[in-house]
A and B are shown apart, each in its own frame.
Chain A
Amino acid sequence: MKKTLRFRFALFIGKAAYRTGKLLKMNASHFPGRLAINLCPDFLGRIDKPEKIVCVTGTNGKTTACNMILDVLSDCGYDVLNNRAGSNLNAGIATALLSHSTLGGKVKHKLALFEVDERSSKLIYPFIHPDFAVCTNLFRDSLQRNAHTEYIFNLISDHIPKDTHMILNADDAISSGLAPDNKRTYYSIAHMETDHDEDINIINDARICPKCYHLLKYNYLKYHHIGNAYCPNCGFTSPESDYAALPDFDAGTITVKHGDADETYPLITDSIFNTYNQVTAIAVLRELGLSPEEISSSFAKVKVLETRYSSKEANGVEVITHLSKGFNPIACSCVFEFVSRQPGEKEVILMLGDIYGHSHSPEIVTWMYDADFEYLNQPDINHLIICGERCEDYKLRLLLAGVSEDKITCVPDEAKAHEYLRLDKTEKVFILHQVYATTAAAVAQNKIIDRLISK
């Protein structure tokens, strides 16, 4: 696209805004790009771009996968233009591009990696024309913003350029069908002993065949709809994988079958969810031309992924705070499942309410009935404390999950929740909290530790 006067003006103003923001020590990762796009709507199409562009999208794991790819590329000496510091909307990508380009609109980087918000597909892909488009998975997400997977699928699929090479998760019967006529590479995780052969979660967003709409069957399921599907009616199957991974959590390695070769990498996570993200990263890095040896030696240096939790101990009791992205039923179900797997007698404090959002409108609770609160119905989870104004809703949800009423305490004021812990035979206390309640959870954690010390 030609560099018009309008584009040059937008670039100048955008760069000026970026520099001013930097000088004022403001986070200038979104606003300058927004300004440039407002001044020149096809700004992203007109600005020079690196020779090779990789975009990563998907409901869950896109940030983690991007971080892994960037860490390995940086370790291997690549200078990668990216939007890690900023937003994953068109303005964030515009800011990343304009901040690294000259006033003439030239860019020195050879490679770019952008995380892309699914809903921004229309505003991004046609303009930046990625060489590779990666999708980690598609799940139901915020119903208010994302509606349902069919909506998000169409948004992405309709706006991916025809010559973009897709890198897709073969184990996702939804996203593996994106941009069906494009060149594609698939990755997957092979069958494992811990897999299931039928639905274990409330939600499975791919119960019906994408081709004929009859019920799908699964050779194996990892979680929700992630697994190896086939349709007994029309013969649809999950696609053959180009990178078929098999993690060995005990040995801390992951073996990836690619062509005739088995490549072995250090495994940098202990969860199946993040293993998918690592396999995504391996597939992308291999397709970019890195050797297994390069990737492997970089992974060995990458910090092991931390789950978003912190643990303190006193008097033999471990007190753990764990982020549980409320309103996202998949994320919550994963955390509940994690808690259910932890050994020991447990008490759980739930701080999942929307303590800020509800000042604008009533808290929407439909997601609760998509989240697997059933995981919290365990013989060794002895007590559940529910905080927040809507605690009766959570109590009802727990009762419907089969938790007996004597195990549930409602404490509307979350600052007082810790006072209600029984701490009789408790070995672990979990505080599962919303992003908004991170501070409240940390305060509660310290108060519980104090209480345990003075016991």
Chain B
Amino acid sequence: MADSIIIETLYPEFANLFGDLMNTGYLKKCIPDGTFIDTNLFDEPAFVSQDVSMVFMGAMSEKQQELVVHALTPYRERITELIDKGCIFLMTGNAMEIFGNYIENEDESRIDCLGLFDTYARRFMFKRHNSYILGEFQDMKLLGFKSQFSHSYGDNSDCYFYKVTTGCGINPDSDLEGLRKNNFYGTYTIGPFLISNPLFVKYLMTLMGIENPELAFEDTITNAYNSRVRQFETFKSH
């Protein structure tokens, strides 16, 4: 089964601001027989011509978001089709914003995005938001760090990723983190999201058809995760 798994990373040459590439780096250790494809900005994504198992994209700069919108717009219909088919998408940091309706600058100018979710992002370039969040997805606790200039607005009550119990969701007044549709998962949390959430890695591996998935360095990653959950819960009670 694992030898038919194809995982594509979009634009790793720049969408990697906060150690994001270790998400697929870790998946490589967990799924050594999988095929991992890196797609650069001016290349046609692999997902256009084949049914990949998963598409990953990490955080990037504001200018680079515009480049990515431009690059992915021609494939809007295909992305919709893949999401409907249940292909996994994992978007960390501001990569998620590209799938909403638009991104608004402080001068109210707008960058039209893919419009697959009925949300929009607003940038606050002189107000960087740093926080950590803890929440619940199905029967697992998910957590992560945020460091961003922008927030998303609009109603994500029927398309959120997970409900937070500590910290905020897609904007400081929301407790619904991220975007989700079928197996599309978008989260503002940055960097090695999968490393911080080993239970979610197992969940993704199951979605990819791997029975009884085993994690790389399972004991260590589980200990690190349990210890961080305890730490996040301790801070919550402060």
B207 at the interface (CB under 8 A from A): no
Whether A395 pairs with B220 at a CB distance below 8 angstroms is yes
Whether B13 pairs with A215 at a CB distance below 8 angstroms is yes
- Given A366-B191, A370-B18, A396-B221, verify A147-B227 contact (CB < 8 Å): no
Cα A283 to Cα B61 in complex, Å, equals 32
Q: Which residues of B contact A215 (CB under 8 A)?
A: 13, 40
Whether A366 pairs with B190 at a CB distance below 8 angstroms is yes
Whether A208 pairs with B29 at a CB distance below 8 angstroms is no
Whether A144 pairs with B130 at a CB distance below 8 angstroms is yes
For B231, give the chain A residue with the smallest CB separation: A362
A369 at the interface (CB under 8 A from B): yes
Whether B42 pairs with A367 at a CB distance below 8 angstroms is no
> Shortest distance in angstroms between A215's beta carbon and chain B's nearest beta carbon?
6
B153 at the interface (CB under 8 A from A): no
For A366, give the chain B residue with the smallest CB separation: B191
Whether B132 pairs with A366 at a CB distance below 8 angstroms is no
Q: Which of B12-26 contact A (CB under 8 A)?
A: 13-14, 17-22, 25-26
> Shortest distance in angstroms between A438's beta carbon and chain B's nearest beta carbon?
25
Residue in A208, A366, A370, A396 whose beta carbon sits within 8 Å of that of B224 in the complex = A396
Q: Which residues of B contact A365 (CB under 8 A)?
A: 145, 191-192, 196
Whether A396 pairs with B217 at a CB distance below 8 angstroms is yes
Whether A392 pairs with B25 at a CB distance below 8 angstroms is no
How many A-B pairs have beta carbons closer than 8 Å: the answer is 97
Q: Which residues of A contact B195 (CB under 8 A)?
A: 369, 396
Whether B62 pairs with A150 at a CB distance below 8 angstroms is yes
Q: Which of A343-366 contact B (CB under 8 A)?
A: 358, 361-362, 364-366
Q: Which residues of A contact B224 (CB under 8 A)?
A: 390, 392-393, 395-396
Residue in A144, A214, A392, A400 whose beta carbon sits within 8 Å of that of B128 in the complex = A144
For B63, give the chain A residue with the smallest CB separation: A150
Whether B18 pairs with A143 at a CB distance below 8 angstroms is yes
Q: Which residues of B contact A400 (CB under 8 A)?
A: 22, 25-26, 29, 216-217
> Shortest distance in angstroms between B172's beta carbon and chain A's nearest beta carbon?
16
For A149, give the chain B residue with the smallest CB separation: B61
B228 at the interface (CB under 8 A from A): yes
> Shortest distance in angstroms between B57's beta carbon and chain A's nearest beta carbon?
15
- Given A150-B61, A369-B19, A395-B220, verify A213-B67 contact (CB < 8 Å): yes
Cα A247 to Cα B171 in complex, Å, equals 52
Cα A389 to Cα B235 in complex, Å, equals 14
Whether B18 pairs with A366 at a CB distance below 8 angstroms is yes
Whether A147 pairs with B191 at a CB distance below 8 angstroms is no
> Shortest distance in angstroms between A138's beta carbon and chain B's nearest beta carbon?
12
Residue in B17, B42, B64, B232 whose beta carbon sits within 8 Å of that of A140 in the complex = B17
Most buried by B among A140, A145, A370: A370
A107 at the interface (CB under 8 A from B): no
Q: Which of B134-151 contact A (CB under 8 A)?
A: 145, 147, 149
B41 at the interface (CB under 8 A from A): yes
> Shortest distance in angstroms between B6's beta carbon and chain A's nearest beta carbon?
22
Residue in B40, B221, B228 whose beta carbon sits within 8 Å of that of A362 in the complex = B228
Residue in B13, B130, B235 whose beta carbon sits within 8 Å of that of A208 in the complex = B13
Whether B40 pairs with A370 at a CB distance below 8 angstroms is no
Q: Which of B212-234 contact A (CB under 8 A)?
A: 216-217, 220-221, 223-224, 227-228, 231-232
Q: Which of B44-85 contact A (CB under 8 A)?
A: 61-64, 67
Cα A369 to Cα B223 in complex, Å, equals 18
Cα A259 to Cα B179 in complex, Å, equals 58
For B61, give the chain A residue with the smallest CB separation: A150
Residue in A358, A362, A367, A392 whose beta carbon sits within 8 Å of that of B19 in the complex = A367
- Given A214-B42, A369-B19, verify A147-B192 contact (CB < 8 Å): no
Per-position 1/0 for A134-145, Cβ under 8 A of B:
000000100111
Per-position 1/0 for B188-201, Cβ under 8 A of A:
00111001100000
> Shortest distance in angstroms between B132's beta carbon and chain A's nearest beta carbon?
5
Residue in A147, A361, A390, A399 whose beta carbon sits within 8 Å of that of B220 in the complex = A399
For B217, give the chain A residue with the smallest CB separation: A399
Cα A148 to Cα B64 in complex, Å, equals 11
Cα A151 to Cα B20 in complex, Å, equals 19
26 A-B residue pairs with CB within 8 Å: A143-B17, A148-B61, A151-B61, A151-B125, A208-B13, A208-B41, A213-B42, A213-B67, A214-B42, A215-B40, A365-B145, A366-B18, A366-B191, A367-B18, A367-B19, A370-B18, A370-B19, A392-B223, A392-B224, A393-B224, A395-B224, A396-B217, A396-B221, A399-B220, A400-B29, A400-B217
Closest 7 CB pairs of A and B: A369-B19, A366-B191, A392-B224, A150-B61, A369-B22, A207-B13, A366-B18
